[in-house]
A and B are shown apart, each in its own frame.
Chain A
Amino acid sequence: NAGVMQNPRHLVRRRGQEARLRCSPMKGHSHVYWYRQLPEEGLKFMVYLQKENIIDESGMPKERFSAEFPKEGPSILRIQQVVRGDSAAYFCASSPGGGSSYNEQFFGPGTRLTVL
């Protein structure tokens, strides 16, 4: 039973390029979360998605960042025109969803983005 998959594991971009990060949730999970970890800091929530819906994007920067979780395929976090400050580890987590008030989130190994 594969866990949460993220690719690429490492991504290097030059300033102004686009970065595209992918996340495949665990089998049977319909909820995806993206978090960003800046150097020497904890993880910060970015966005919460269900299939074809953005539920909460309160942690997303207003410009250049977007996320989707299509009916088929992985969730994508897209960063346009990257800047050096976007260098960070980006983690995806998934949960099964459902009616419980608590749903454990399972984390992927992360994508480490370096902007030159």
Chain B
Amino acid sequence: GDSVTQMEGPVTLSEEAFLTINCTYTATGYPSLFWYVQYPGEGLQLLLKATKADDKGSNKGFEATYRKETTSFHLEKGSVQVSDSAVYFCALSGFSSGSARQLTFGSGTQLTVLP
């Protein structure tokens, strides 16, 4: 079945540092790929997405490129802020189980940014 492997956390960075969170996936066909962010006590918010190979998703300074050859969708940001502290989830949406569009999530990476 589909699976997502995400970089283990927690990750602690100083403000303005460069961020990379690795994500690789296993899926049949051509899944859509997502990064979600979860702030403390809240639900998940979609951060960015890519629906086909070589697409680059971007939002709020975060970027990720859908690499089919390496089955990866690594999240990057050039200069993190304290307000970026949250848990980040990589996810994919495939077409397993017939027409269902369930999301398959990685285990999440806790990011803490220190001032």
**Chain A residues near B (Cβ < 8 Å):** 4, 6, 31, 33, 35, 41-45, 48, 55-56, 58-59, 91, 93, 95, 101-110
State whether A43 and B44 are in contact (beta carbons under 8 Å apart), knowing that A102-B32, A102-B93, A104-B49 are contacts in the complex: yes
Assess the B104–A45 pair: CB atoms within 8 A.
yes
- Chain B contact residues, CB within 8 Å of chain A: 4, 6, 32, 36, 41-46, 49, 51, 89, 93, 97-108
| A to B contact number (C-beta, < 8 Å) | 65
CA distance A58 to B94 in the complex (A): 14
Residues of B with C-beta under 8 A to A104: 46, 49
Which one of A4, A33, A45, A56 contacts B43 once the chains associate, using CB atoms below 8 Å? Answer: A4
Indicate if the CB atoms of B106 and A48 lie closer than 8 Å.
Answer: no
Docked CA distance A110–B40 (Å): 12
- The answer to whether A41 and B107 touch across the interface, beta carbons within 8 angstroms, is yes
The answer to whether A44 and B45 have CB atoms under 8 Å apart is no
